[in-house]
Amino acid sequence: MPETPHIVSDVMTRTVVAVGREAPFKELVQTLGTWRVSAMPVLEGEGRVIGVVSEADLLPKEEFRDSDPDRFQQLRRLPDLAKAGAVTAEELMSSPAVTVHPDATLPEAARIMAVRGVKRLPVVDAEGKLQGIVTRGDLLKVFLRTDQDIEAEVHRTVVSHLFPGSGVHVRAREGVVTLSGQLGDTALIPVAARLTRAVEGVVDVECHFRGVGPDQAAHPA
């Protein structure tokens, strides 16, 4: 199996901008602007994450500042109207926060983001205390691996186990891995493709194998 995967703690940002539950609206705007972030965790006690407040949570105050929504709009936008009247982080935050543990794999973190529709995840320990934050961009860092590193890992963890002693070649170009060579048994090709695709940094896999007939396999030229 591939030596990877990396885990969330490998790519997360450990220095995180956060606020307390009583932080006022203006402080939230100032903090987001000063640190150039679009969201931040809300903490209580000794750093336990209780929610996340984002620019989207703050915008209703501006959106409804000079409007008088009719009853239909009030019913349809009730959560946003509530946030328009909020003045503290506790009133504005999305809670409970969608979080991830530091030992989660990057695919696991990516699935949480996709399913829950969030762009970032506070990273918390078993007690819910903030350890860092991981963003979509952090999860993409694995694709910055060099082609040489990818080739070496595919050969070491896939080819050497599935096709020991064979002449299978591995080539990576811009993250696209090509497996090629001559095989006596082509049944393992789908397995090789699947395991290669699981190596972090691999963008795609192409297989260009040539099958060897029984006679040739028994009496190689």
Per-residue model confidence as pLDDT tens digits over 35-45: 999 999 999 99
Element (H, E) at 49: strand 48-54
47-56 per-position pLDDT tens digit: 999 999 999 9
* 68, pLDDT greater than 70: no
Q: What is the pLDDT of residue 214?
A: 47
* 220, pLDDT greater than 50: no
Q: What is the pLDDT of residue 217?
A: 39
16-34 per-position pLDDT tens digit: 999 999 999 999 999 999 9
Q: Which residue in 33, 111, 35 sits closest to 58, CA to CA?
A: 33
Question: DSSP character for 47?
Answer: T
* 116, pLDDT greater than 60: yes
118-153 per-position pLDDT tens digit: 999 999 999 999 999 999 999 998 899 999 999 999
Select the more confidently predicted residue: 159 or 184: 159
Categorize the per-residue pLDDT at 65 as very low, low, confident or very high, splitting at 50, 70 and 90. low
- Residue 221 amino acid letter: A
pTM of the entire structure? 0.76
**SS3 of residue 37 by DSSP:** coil
Q: What is the pLDDT of residue 158?
A: 94
Query: Do strands 19-20 and 39-44 pair parallel, antiparallel, or not at all (unpaired)?
Result: parallel
